[in-house]
Structure formats: C-alpha cells, structure tokens
C-alpha cells in the first residue's frame, strides 16, 4: 500500500484506473487499495480486496460483475453505509476530497443526500411504500436544514420535473406503489439528487425495467453526467454500461480484474472473465451459439424415463390460440380489457417468444394458455385437443386435468413457488407423485435423474431451496416442470432475476432440453436480447393486442410497426457487436428518439 495517511495528493498518484484525473484537485473519488471485510460468527469474510478507483466530475464509472463480486459493498463504502460489522481499510479513501477513513457518522450524514446521492435498484422497495414520493424528497431537504415549507415544496416539484416527471404537483402526492415503473424510478432519482450532489452512486439503476423505460432512465443519468456530476453505477448489463460509462471496472471475487475506458474494455476485453461476461449476453448475433462455457447436458441422462401416456398430437401444433379476449372490472364499473383478440400458434419443437412491456397482457395470455384463466372469448387447443374455450366449446377443469402434465410452467421467481419446508428432492418427488409417475419406491431415483438432466449434482437432493443460488433454484424449477414429462413449457421471465452469466447457463440448458426432448416453449420476457436469442417466432404485444408477429429474424431485422421499431431502438447494444466507433463516439444515447 502507499503511505497510510497523507494530504499530499499533489504528487503523482498512481491509480489502477487510467482516469487521468486521479491526482487533480477536483477529483471526486480517489481510492487505492480498498479492502472491506465482514466479521461474521464463522470468521472474517473479505468481500472487497485491493480495489482502486478514481472519478472526475462529469464522468461515469461502471462497476461490473456478478452478484457477490463486491460491487455493492464497494459502492456503499463510498457513502459510509456498510453494515455495522464491516471493516474498511484502504491505502487511500478520498471521497469528494475528504479522507473517508476519518469521517465520523455525523460528518457522513452531512455528505449523504447533499454531496453524495445514492440511488438504489427497485424504487418500489427503495422508497418507503407508506409515504408519498413528495414526503420522501422533502425529507432529504429537511435533513439538510432547508427551511420554509413552501420553499421546500417548490424544490420537491422542481426535483420531480428535473427527473422528467411531467406533473409534479400530482405525483408528489402519490406513493411509489401508485406510480408506473418508470415514474417510480425517476422519483427515486429525484429524492437522491434534489440537493444537487456532486457525486451520484446508482446501484443497478435500470435492472428490471422495460426496455423503453430503461432507455429513458439511462438518458436521465447521462443528463446528470452532462451537468458535471460524477456518476458511479453498478450494472450487470454490459450493454447499459457501454452507453453510460466512461470508465469500467470489472469485479470478480472482490477484486478488480480489468479496468479502463469503457469502449476499450468492452470491445477489446483482455481478461478471460470480461470475455465470458460479454459472451454471455444473449442477442440475435449469439443465436444458437452457446452462451456459457459449461458442457451440454448428455443425451444419455435423458434416456431411461419411460414415456407417459398422452393424447398430445404428433402432427398438430403444440398450442393454437384463437382470438383470446379477457377483461377485468376496473374502477367505477368500467371494464379493463387486458387481452384483446390475441391469436398465436406455437409449432411443435419450436420456441414462440412473447415480448411486451409490463401491462401488455403477456402474463394474462400465459395464464389462459395454461388453462388457469377462463377467457371471455376465443379458444385454445393444446396438442390437437380442446384446452380452453367459451360457450359450447367451454372445457371443464375436470376434462383438462388429465392433460395438465402436457404443459408445465417455470416462473421468474422459483423460490416462492417452492414449499420452504420441502427439500429439493421432495419438491421433485412431490411433482412425480402428483402426476402418478413411477412407484413410491423409484421416485427418489427418478428425482436424482431429473436433477442430473438439469445439471445439478445428487448432493443437492436434501438441501432446502433457500440455501441454493438463484441459478440452482431455477434449475430445480425446470427439473420439477420436467418431472411430469411435459410437451410444452411455459417459461414466464425465467431468467429475468439472474445474473448475465447464470442467465447464459440457464438459457443453454433450456436449448439443450428442447433439442433433446423435442419440447415446445412459450417464452415470455421483457428482455429483447433474450427473446431474440431463444425464439423461432415472436409475438409483440402492447395494451393487450398483438402488434406484430413473425419469425424472429423478420421481427428483429425488418420490423413492420413503429412500436416494434421503438422497442428495438430502446435496446442498448454492445459496441463489440458493431463497429466500435459507433457508440464510443456518441456517449449520449442512440435511443433518444425512442421515447
């Protein structure tokens, strides 16, 4: 380490990050050899190791890596908000020119909100759900001694306006739960930036947002940068990083394994881990290519499961949906049409991707396809037999029940679909039992085989789902879906909660299973990259209607409607997949026209 305590930063400071501004007087961050460890009952855990960062005003630094790589802990160290059992030491830890190692809680409080804004990921939980967003923003003003109720209210409205919220008087009185995802995220940014902090730290600011909303939020963050503020943000989405960041630091296991100018790191990655992260991004260009380094599931492990008797046709399409309509009662006696004349055909052994923003009717369509929601009009056939309909064609649940094994569901959040008291093995044997598959004696064996199919070792059999990683849980959910030997899998945002590298493994697994078992997939996602990668055919939905449908190649290369074009334009892409100069020259967003 360099000398522990010195104010002499006029001397040439060697920074691991070639920010070029490390030694300048107005440097926002100047960090060398940062270590953070946590004292736990089982001993000390080192989470951040020897991290060096620098940031100048008007620049954006991205921390990239998968969960557990130490990004969040690093970011929280910059606002002094790590857990009580955290131990921080560093050769140099200068935040806004102050030695952060010597800052007391009271001094930190003076900086937080005023000089450093901190934006968390999901505004629904990052803003107090019981209070209005106006109260939340006002709280920052009061905490820093801004006097005068009327003056504060004006600043609250101005902050909301600055964050791109058009009618601040109305919105200030609403709670985060009453706002749309985009407005909510803007309000979250407003509460962190109302006092014009020089440094803004954002932890996964666009994850879980629809593509167009994500583009708008990126634009807003880019605007902060243009105002001369420094921006540190965490993301696992390298495409997002390429649009916003000037510098990138790739973290793995608590260390920075690669850092440098964003365009350079992303288009010419030197470290193996950075390359793996870039390869893991699902795009059309990566279609059919494996995203992860893992070996494919062996065909051998799939043999030996005797076929279940089924009437599923070998000639008819897997699903044919015709003119589905579903409406729900809205406020004041009105009816909200959630699904409005949706038709689609899922061919056997193929993947139909359904893409659309929240509220587009994707999930309701999925529930109708699953036979869980009765449509108001229209019909569904599954493997050639009547599955759902209205009037004379109505299918009773009793008639459906014997066909239920043919279509199975995999959710976004598998954990909440597992009984927390069940072991992994029990989750799967339970499904086997429900489908009367096998005898009570050989179900354990079958469950182990199913675990093997999804690439999980038998040693997980007795573990609780809670103790598994997100990727392992999703594999268990897939194994459970496969237990009934289905012909169709309905995959509802199956990888949306996963890191890009884990997502890559799960997408590869799904591709293997499809080719070896001849499964048909109905794949729902808000992520166009994922949809492009997995789909043969694509259905674009908006406000309950099908906007456009066609083969994936047609939709993505030759979109026919404005809405699809707008969706596609909103997807940030990696410069590495295009001539590098294209984005590097324009750090502002190419998506501005979209919104």
Nearer to other proteins, 25 or 83 (CB): 83
d(CA 397, CA 379): 15
Distance in Å, CB of 231 to other proteins, minimum: 15
Q: Which residues contact 149 (CB under 8 A, 6 or more apart)?
A: none
Nearer to other proteins, 215 or 250 (CB): 250
Binding track over 159-188 against other proteins, x by CB under 8 A = ----------------x-xx---------x
Which residue of 59, 71, 152, 362 would you call a contact of other proteins, by CB under 8 A? 71
Nearer to other proteins, 92 or 326 (CB): 326
Told to check if 192 binds other proteins by CB under 8 A, we report yes
Which residue of 87, 270, 289, 336 would you call a contact of other proteins, by CB under 8 A? 336
Which residue of 140, 189, 209, 539 would you call a contact of other proteins, by CB under 8 A? 140
């606002």: which residue's tokens? 79
204 C-beta neighbours (distance < 10 Å), count = 21
Rounded alpha-carbon distances, angstroms, from residue 152 to 44, 146, 149, 159: 45, 7, 5, 10
Q: Report residue 215 CA to chain centroid gap.
A: 14
Nearer to other proteins, 109 or 463 (CB): 109
Told to check if 87 binds other proteins by CB under 8 A, we report no
Told to check if 575 binds other proteins by CB under 8 A, we report no
d(CA 352, CA 150): 54
Distance in Å, CB of 198 to other proteins, minimum: 14
Which residue of 15, 35, 52, 126 would you call a contact of other proteins, by CB under 8 A? 126
Structure-token pair, residue 395: 């299918």
Which of 138-146, 152-160, 210-218, 580-588 is the region at the interface with other proteins (rule: CB under 8 A)?
138-146
Binding track over 411-440 against other proteins, x by CB under 8 A = --x--x------------------------
d(CA 453, CA 159): 53
Structure-token pair, residue 456: 């999980």
Distance in Å, CB of 407 to other proteins, minimum: 23
Told to check if 51 binds other proteins by CB under 8 A, we report no
Told to check if 47 binds other proteins by CB under 8 A, we report yes
Told to check if 129 binds other proteins by CB under 8 A, we report yes
């004292």: which residue's tokens? 39
Distance in Å, CB of 214 to other proteins, minimum: 19
Q: What DSSP line would sit under 505-560, residue for residue?
A: HHHHHHHHHHHHH--EEEEEES-HHHHHHH-SEEEEEETTEEEEEEEHHHHHHS--
For 456, the 3-state DSSP assignment is coil
Site size with other proteins, rule: CB under 8 A: 54
Q: What DSSP line would sit under 207-258, residue for residue?
A: TT--HHHHHHHHHHHHHHHHTT-EEEEEES-HHHHHHH-SEEEEEETTEEEE
Site residues (CB under 8 A) for other proteins, limited to 93-122: 105, 109-114, 116-118, 120-122
Q: What is the number of H-type helices and E-type strands within the chain?
A: 21, 21
d(CA 557, CA 284): 10
Nearer to other proteins, 233 or 312 (CB): 233
Residue 88 backbone dihedrals phi, psi, to 5 degrees: -110, 130
Told to check if 84 binds other proteins by CB under 8 A, we report yes
Which of 139-147, 265-273, 281-289, 428-436 is the region at the interface with other proteins (rule: CB under 8 A)?
139-147
Give the sign of the dihedral formed by CA 311, CA 314, CA 315, CA 317: positive
For 203, the 3-state DSSP assignment is strand
d(CA 473, CA 568): 31
Nearer to other proteins, 7 or 416 (CB): 416
Structure-token pair, residue 17: 């990050």
Told to check if 42 binds other proteins by CB under 8 A, we report no
Nearer to other proteins, 113 or 494 (CB): 113
Which residue of 23, 24, 58, 144 would you call a contact of other proteins, by CB under 8 A? 144
Site residues (CB under 8 A) for other proteins, limited to 11-40: 38, 40
Sites of contact with other proteins (CB under 8 A): 38, 40, 45, 47, 67-68, 70-73, 79, 81, 83-84, 86, 105, 109-114, 116-118, 120-122, 124-131, 136, 139-140, 143-144, 175, 177-178, 188, 191-192, 328, 331, 336, 338, 364, 413, 416
């Amino acid at each position: 380490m360099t000398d522990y305590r010195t104010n002499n930063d006029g001397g040439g400071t060697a920074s691991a990050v070639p920010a070029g501004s490390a030694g300048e007087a107005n440097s926002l961050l100047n960090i060398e050899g940062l270590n953070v460890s946590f004292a736990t009952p089982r001993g000390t855990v080192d989470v951040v190791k020897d991290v060096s960062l620098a940031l100048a005003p008007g620049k954006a630094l991205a921390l990239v890596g998968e969960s557990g790589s130490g990004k969040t802990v690093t970011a929280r160290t910059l606002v002094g908000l790590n857990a009580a059992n955290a131990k921080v030491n560093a050769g140099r830890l200068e935040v806004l020119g102050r030695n952060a190692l010597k800052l007391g809680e009271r001094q930190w409080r003076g900086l937080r909100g005023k000089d450093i804004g901190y934006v968390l990921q999901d505004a629904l939980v990052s803003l107090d759900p019981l209070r209005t967003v106006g109260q939340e923003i006002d709280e920052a003003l009061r905490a820093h001694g801004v006097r005068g109720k009327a003056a504060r209210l004006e600043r609250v409205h101005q902050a909301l306006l600055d964050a791109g919220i058009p009618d601040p008087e109305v919105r200030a009185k609403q709670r985060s739960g009453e706002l749309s995802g985009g407005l909510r995220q803007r309000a979250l940014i407003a509460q962190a930036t109302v006092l014009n902090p020089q440094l803004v730290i954002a932890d996964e600011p666009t994850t879980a947002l629809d593509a167009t909303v994500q583009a708008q939020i990126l634009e807003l963050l880019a605007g902060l940068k243009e105002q001369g503020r420094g921006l540190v943000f965490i993301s696992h989405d390298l495409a997002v990083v390429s649009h916003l960041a000037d510098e990138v630091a790739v973290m793995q296991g608590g260390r920075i394994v690669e850092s440098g100018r964003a365009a350079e790191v992303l288009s010419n990655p030197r470290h193996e881990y950075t390359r793996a992260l870039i390869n893991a991004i699902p795009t059309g260009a990566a279609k059919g290519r494996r995203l992860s380094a893992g070996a494919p599931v062996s065909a051998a492990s799939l043999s030996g499961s005797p076929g279940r008797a089924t009437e599923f046709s070998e000639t008819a399409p897997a699903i044919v949906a015709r003119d589905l309509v579903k409406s729900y009662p809205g406020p004041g006696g009105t009816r909200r049409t959630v699904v409005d004349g949706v038709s689609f055909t899922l061919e056997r052994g193929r993947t139909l991707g359904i893409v659309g923003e929240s509220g587009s009717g994707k999930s309701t369509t999925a529930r109708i396809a699953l036979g869980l929601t009765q449509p108001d009009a229209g019909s569904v056939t599954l493997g050639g037999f009547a599955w759902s309909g209205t009037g004379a064609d109505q299918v009773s649940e009793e008639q459906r029940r014997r066909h239920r094994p043919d279509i199975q569901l995999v959710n976004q959040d598998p954990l909440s679909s597992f009984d927390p008291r069940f072991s992994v093995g029990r989750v799967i044997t339970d499904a086997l039992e429900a489908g009367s598959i096998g005898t009570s004696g050989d179900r354990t064996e079958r469950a182990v085989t199913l675990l093997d199919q999804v690439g999980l070792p038998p040693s997980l059999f007795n573990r609780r789902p809670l103790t598994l990683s997100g990727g392992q849980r999703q594999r268990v959910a897939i194994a459970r879906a496969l237990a009934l030997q289905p012909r169709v899998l309905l995959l509802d945002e199956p990888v949306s909660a996963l890191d890009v590298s884990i997502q890559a493994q799960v997408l590869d697994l799904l591709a293997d299973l499809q080719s070896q078992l001849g499964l048909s997939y109905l794949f729902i996602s808000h992520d166009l990259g994922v949809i492009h990668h997995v789909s043969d055919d694509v259905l674009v939905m908006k406000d309950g209607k099908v906007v456009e449908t066609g083969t994936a190649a047609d939709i993505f290369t030759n979109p026919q409607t404005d809405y699809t074009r707008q969706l596609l334009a909103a997807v940030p892409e990696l410069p590495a997949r295009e001539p590098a100069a294209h984005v590097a020259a324009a750090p502002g967003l190419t998506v501005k026209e979209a919104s």
